Structure 1
Amino acid sequence: MPARRKQPVFGITGRSGSGKTSLITRLLPVLTQQGLRVSTIKHTHHGVDMDQPGKDTFLHRESGAQEVMLATPERWVLQHETATMPSLEALVQAMTPVDLILVEGFHATVPTSLEVWRPETGKAPLFPDTSAIALVVTDSPVIPQNRPDLKFMRLEDVAAIAVFIREHAATLMLA
C-alpha cells in the first residue's frame, strides 16, 4: 500500500477581476525567498485548450489518447481528458510534493483560504457565506464586521499575508 503523504495547501479566492492572480504573483517571490518550494493550481469555469488544431499533440488527443504529454528541454505538460472536473485532492495528488500549494479558485472545497475583496469591482464578497475564508485581503478603507473570526489585511502587505498563509495552510492527507 502506498504511503500516505501530507500536503499543505492554501486557497486564494475572490470574484473575477479582484486581483487573485496579481496577489499570487507577488506572494510567490516572497515565499520562495523564504526557501519554500511552492506550486500552484488554477481553477477556471471557462474551457481552455493549451493545444492547437493540427499540432501532433492535438491529433493524439483527438484520436483518443487519454493522456498526452508534451516534453521540451525547458518544461513538460501533461494533458488528461476527463468527463468530470477532478476534485482538489485528486489534482494535488497528481502533483509533486512541495512545501506549499497555492490554489486559485476552488472556494467551495479548499479547506482554508483568503479572499481578495475589492469593493470597486462591484461584486459581492464571498466571505460572509464561505466559512473556509480565514483572511480577507482588501484595499477597502471600510472593513465589515459581520464575521468576528475573520482577519483583514491590506492588499499591499504581502509579507504579512505570506506569514498568515504559512501559519494557516491546511494539510491535505493524500494516499
Structure 2
Amino acid sequence: MKLYGVTGWKNAGKTTLMERLVTEITGRGLTVTTVKHAHHDTDVDQPGRDSHRHRQAGASQVVLASPRRWALMTELRDAPEPSLADLLPRLDPVDLVLVEGYKRAPHPKVEAWRGANGKQPLAGRNDTIRAIAADGPVETPLPVLDLNDTKAIADFILREVGA
C-alpha cells in the first residue's frame, strides 16, 4: 500500500491541504483513503444516540451501518493506542493512503508550513519530511512547493510513491 503523509504545526493548513489533495488525486482516477491522527480525545458519536449508548454500556466495538456508509468504533478501554502500522492492515486496498499527523512515523511526508505561525519548519528535525509546502519563502535544502498549488503538491507526492 502506498503511503504518504502531511504534517506540520497546528494551524499550518494540514487539513485544508489534505482535503484539496484528496479532491485532486481522486479526480485523476486514483482511490484514496485518509488517516487522521488526533492528540486529544475525539468522539465520532453523539451522546444519546443508540451507538453511543452501546459504547457507554461497555461494548468493545460498535458497528454503525446505514444504506450510505458504515463505521466501526473501537473502544480502547485503557489499552494502548494502536500505531499507524497496526491500523493500516485494517484498511481496504486503495491506490494511496494519505496520513495527517503521525509526524514521528517512518513514512514520507510533506510539511504544510505558514510563516505567520512564527515557528521554524519541522523539516530540520524530521528526516521523513521530503518537501515543504509553504505560503512564502523558507530556508531549507528540501524542495519548497507553493502551499496553494495543490496540483504541484499532488504531482510531487505521486512521483514520490511511484503512482
- TM-score, with normalisation over the residues of structure 2? 0.92
Say whether residues 1:166 and 2:158 are aligned partners.
yes
Of the candidates 60, 83, 89, which is equivalent to residue 66 of structure 1? Answer: 60
Amino acid across the alignment from 2:21: L
In structure 2, how many angstroms separate the alpha carbons of the residues matched to 1:50 and 1:33?
27
Identical aligned residues as a percent: 42
In structure 2, how many angstroms separate the alpha carbons of the residues matched to 1:151 and 1:91?
30
Structure 1 match to 2:86: 90
Secondary structure of 1:165's counterpart equals helix
Are the equivalent residues in 2 in contact too, given 1:136–1:152 (CA < 8 A)?
A: yes
Secondary structure of 2:63's counterpart equals strand
Q: How many residues align?
A: 160
Please state how far the C-alpha of 1:143 moved relative to its aligned partner.
2.4
Of the candidates 139, 143, 150, which is equivalent to residue 144 of structure 1? Answer: 139
In structure 2, how many angstroms separate the alpha carbons of the residues matched to 1:69 and 1:97?
20
Structure 2 match to 1:120: 116
Any gaps of 5 or more consecutive residues in structure 2? none
Of the candidates 117, 127, 133, which is equivalent to residue 129 of structure 2? Answer: 133
Give matches, 1:20-39, under 5 Å: 20-39=14-33
Question: RCO higher in 1 or 2 (8 Å CA, sep ≥ 6)?
Answer: 1
In structure 1, how many angstroms separate the alpha carbons of the residues matched to 2:129 and 2:51?
39
In structure 2, how many angstroms separate the alpha carbons of the residues matched to 1:46 and 1:133?
23
* Higher strand fraction (1 or 2): 1
Of the candidates 31, 37, 42, which is equivalent to residue 43 of structure 1? Answer: 37
Are the equivalent residues in 2 in contact too, given 1:10–1:110 (CA < 8 A)?
A: no
Q: Pairwise CA RMSD of aligned residues?
A: 1.4
Are the equivalent residues in 2 in contact too, given 1:11–1:110 (CA < 8 A)?
A: no
Any gaps of 5 or more consecutive residues in structure 1? 1-6, 171-175
- TM-score, with normalisation over the residues of structure 1? 0.86
